[in-house]
Amino acid sequence: MNLILLGPPGAGKGTQAVRLVQDFPIASISTGDMLRAAVSEGTPLGLKAKSFMDAGGLVPDDVIIGVALERLRADDVRDGFLLDGFPRTVGQADALEQDMEETGRKMTAVLLIEVEDEEIVRRVSGRRVSKSGRTYHVEFDAPKHEGRCDIDGSPLIQREDDKPEVVRERLSVYHEQTMPLIEYYDERGLLRRFDGSRSPTEVHDHIRATVATLRLEDAL
């Protein structure tokens, strides 16, 4: 099975990716992991990506596409993959589709986790982190003593990426660059929608049932 996880930042894609690869024997691939691996291995594309990352710039589409397609030819991907964070644009999706046609593979489904913008802002901006890296949430998982870590007593901070204005900017980029993929994959009959406002377990149960059904259909 070849799957893509789609949804806004903070929708819980990472959580669902971890659970799905425990359910099904496929490789989980995130854009961040993919880039870090290419840089660590010192591949030509990895070194090219590193030059942009070191300069604090965005890695261009052609480099991202090159690194992704290179990763999808690795041995551990032969039995299928779950992509999180790629493709992010229609151009990347076109490149992926062409490569899969050339290598005789097909996409099984695109799993869209839908969450309203304000709920995303509420979720992400409420996160607080301790010095040791333990994460809390002011509403959903508050510490026993406000502003202090339960384990080491260190002050809790809000990361820059979690501030409401930064979250809204990331959502704006998602709407502009990534949301067109919803129509792109819907037109191809690949899109499956999931209500990301539900609990992670409920979302997982729904996704797992859908993927299990697709797997059975593939086997027929």
Active-site positions? 13, 88, 127, 159, 170
List the beta bridge partners of residue 5: 84, 111
For residues 45 and 111, give the distance between their C-alpha atoms in angstroms, rounded to a whole number.
Answer: 28
Dihedral of CA atoms 80, 86, 92, 97 in degrees, nearest 10, equals: 20
